[in-house]
Structure 1
Amino acid sequence: MSLRATARIVAAADGSLPVLRSDGPFALRRTRSTDAYTRVTVVGAMSAPLGGDELDLEARAEDGARLAVGTAAATVALPGRTPGPAHYRVRLSVGADAALRWLPEPLVSARGSDLRARTTVELAAGARLVLREEQVLGRYGEEPGTLRSRLTVTLAGRPLLDQELAYGPGAPGGWDGPAVLAGHRAVGQLLLVAPEFEAKPAEAALLGEYAAVTPLAGPAALVSAVAADALGLRRTLDEAQSALVPF
């Protein structure tokens, strides 16, 4: 039997969490913070996503709020008894003069799984965002499942980024070729949005051999990277975040 679940987080400017609603595999916990951010950790309460699951995770930082969200462990997409793909939808909203740091652990596409991951972000004018996505194609020594991932971001009602990626069986040919992954099994991106980029845009640059910074048509920058494994990918994205985040 497939699972349907929706979890919600709402953070207010005074540091409170008016909404913290756990559901299904998403156990939401407020965790200690050492800075101005209200921190929430998503703890996996059961194995998910499995084939046929419909999972939604929503977070909103209201005007003036500072919210940081992470996960306690990697998310592993697995095959299930129900035919058809699993759907994992993340919806993020950041109000005026608010900031959101969305920094989950990697998503692992296990052999035999079929996952459709969709992240939608709506940013008000003046909002700040740090968003990291990491995908590991297969566990150690195994081939990956099928993974289709889309990230759509709007800023003040205008499109900022709309990107779709596909890997594994059934994906368009060439996904593992020299022009895409070139045999690497970890792929990720770091999206940075901040008003500070209006006065001083990020510069296009290579980060080592397998990562690059791309300034976007807006106060934003995108870091794209591939690596042999999750550890190498995280190291690259962490270095980029330390160097580029202006707030």
Structure 2
Amino acid sequence: MSLRATARIVADADGGLPVLVSDGPLALRRTRAAGPYTRVTVVGAMSAPLGGDRLAIETEVRDGARLLVDSAAATLALPGRSAEPAAYDVRITVGAEGVLRWLPEQLVSVHGSDLRMRTVVELAPTARLVLREEQILGRHGEPPGTLITRLTVRRAGSPLLDQELAFGPGAPGGWDGGAVLAGHRATGQLLLVDPAFAEKPVEARLLGENAAVTPLAGPAALVTAVAPDALALRRLLDTALSGLAPVGPV
């Protein structure tokens, strides 16, 4: 039987969490954080998403709040009894002077799985954001399932980024070719949004052979990377974050 579950987080400027609602496999825990952030860790309470599941996390960072959301382990997209694809929706709003660090662990597309993941972010003009997504295509020694992800970010009601990625047997041809993954099995994105970038934009540049920094049409920067495995990918994105964060103190 397919699951339907929606977890909710609301963070206040005083560090409070007036709403912290777990649901189904999405267990939310307030955990200890260093610095000014309130921290919430997503703990997988059961295997999910499976074929046909409909999961969602809704997060509101109210005006002036600082929130860090991470996860205790990687998320595995798994095949299920249903032939329908699984869906995992992330819906985020960040208010004025709010700061969100969205840093989950990797999403692993297991052979035979079929997942559609959608992340939608609404930012106030003075909001700041660090958002990381990492996709691992198959467990060790296996081909991936079908994975389609879309990241849509709007700032002050205007589009900032709308990007769709598709991998695996259900994706258009060429996803594993030299112009996309070139045989790599780990890929990721790091998005930084900060009003400070309006005065000092990020310069487009390569980060070694497998990663690049791109300024966006707004106070934002996007890092994209490919790597042979999850560990190498995380190192690339961590290096990029450490180099970019001083420009916009998120």
Q: SS at 1:192's partner residue?
A: strand
Matched, 1:220 2:220: yes
TM-score scaled by length of structure 1: 1.00
Identity %: 74
1:82 is aligned to: 82
Equivalents in 2 of 1:128, 1:189: separation in Å? 17
Tell me how far 1:83 sits from its aligned partner. Answer: 1.5
1:2-38 Cα deviation digits (max 9, x unpaired): 0000000000000000000000111100001120000
Secondary structure in 2 matching 1:164: strand
Determine the C-alpha separation between the residues in 2 that align with 1:33 and 1:113. Answer: 34
Are 1:34 and 2:34 counterparts? yes
Equivalent in the alignment of 1:191: 191
- Superposed counterparts of 1:41-120, under 5 Å: 41-120=41-120
Q: CA RMSD in A?
A: 0.4
Q: Which runs of 4+ in 1 moved over 6 A?
A: none
Shift in Å, 1:82: 1.3
1:115-149 Cα shifts (integer Å, max 9, x gaps): 00000000001000000000000000000000000
5+ unaligned residues in a row in structure 1: which ranges?
none
Letter of the 1:144 counterpart: P
CA–CA distance in structure 2, aligned partners of residues 157 and 220 of structure 1? 15
Amino acid at match of 1:68: L
C-alpha displacement of 1:198? 0.5
Could you list the per-position Cα deviations for residues 154-188 of structure 1 after superposition, in whole angstroms to 9, with x for gaps in the alignment? Answer: 00000000000000002100000000000000000
Q: Could you tell me how far apart the structure 2 residues matched to 1:125 and 1:96 are?
A: 7
Residues of 2 paired with 1:78 and 1:29: CA distance? 24
What letter corresponds to residue 52 of structure 2 in structure 1? Answer: G
Matching residue of 1:173: 173
Match of 2:189, SS state, is strand
Give the TM-score normalised by the residue count of structure 2: 0.98
Return the alpha-carbon distance in structure 1 between the equivalents of residues 138 and 205 of structure 2: 29
Q: Name the CA distance, whole Å, in 2 between partners of 1:34 and 1:145.
A: 37
Unaligned runs of 5+ in 2: none
Equivalent position amino acid for 1:185 in 2? R
